[in-house]
Amino acid sequence: MNTVQWILFSIICLLLFSKDKASSIDAFVLVIAYLFYASFIVKAPDILYYSYAAFMNLIVGIILQPRNTHAAICSYSLVLCNVLGFFLWYNYYDPDLYDNIALLILALQTITILPTRLLNGLRCYIQHIMAKSRIFNGIQTRVTMYKTQAPKETKR
């Protein structure tokens, strides 16, 4: 595992202690999958590696489907990524494309299991950054436009 994968694994481990029950259950499923992957699948020979990894991602997707469809879709896309990795391995290509796509999908999966209030807090924090930047200067005076109502016409 590289540094970014360790960071994602650490974030998922921290989500185990979340007050949001759905996020902690999803994090538990992903931690178990990561531990199984690191213990058994990494050591498998080449053709079995991609087969076992795809099968594990399929099972994780099926488990996550009732609670979090976005995380399950990420797991299903990892199955297709493993098929791509197998074809790259079979044709003696460099596995960098496979590694980068898998890492991107894992990062998206980690984002999808974050609690919604954390995501809302991040969105609020980003809005405050935008409000304090030079482009969106809140100190400048603005012209306020008011809509005036036209007088009603009376019937004669």
Instruction: Bin 136: left if φ > 0, else alpha if -120 < ψ < 50, else beta.
Output: beta
Q: How confident is the model at residue 124 (pLDDT cuts 50, 70, 90)?
A: low
pLDDT digits (tens, 9 = 90+) for 78-106: 999 999 999 999 999 999 999 999 999 99
Q: How confident is the model at residue 22 (pLDDT cuts 50, 70, 90)?
A: confident
Q: How confident is the model at residue 144 (pLDDT cuts 50, 70, 90)?
A: low
Nearest C-alpha neighbor of 72 from the set 13, 113, 119, 104: 113
**146 pLDDT higher than 70:** no
- Bigger pLDDT: 116 vs 86: 86
pLDDT digits (tens, 9 = 90+) for 24-73: 999 999 999 999 999 999 999 989 999 999 999 999 999 999 999 999 99
pLDDT at residue 133 in the model: 47
pLDDT at residue 130 in the model: 44
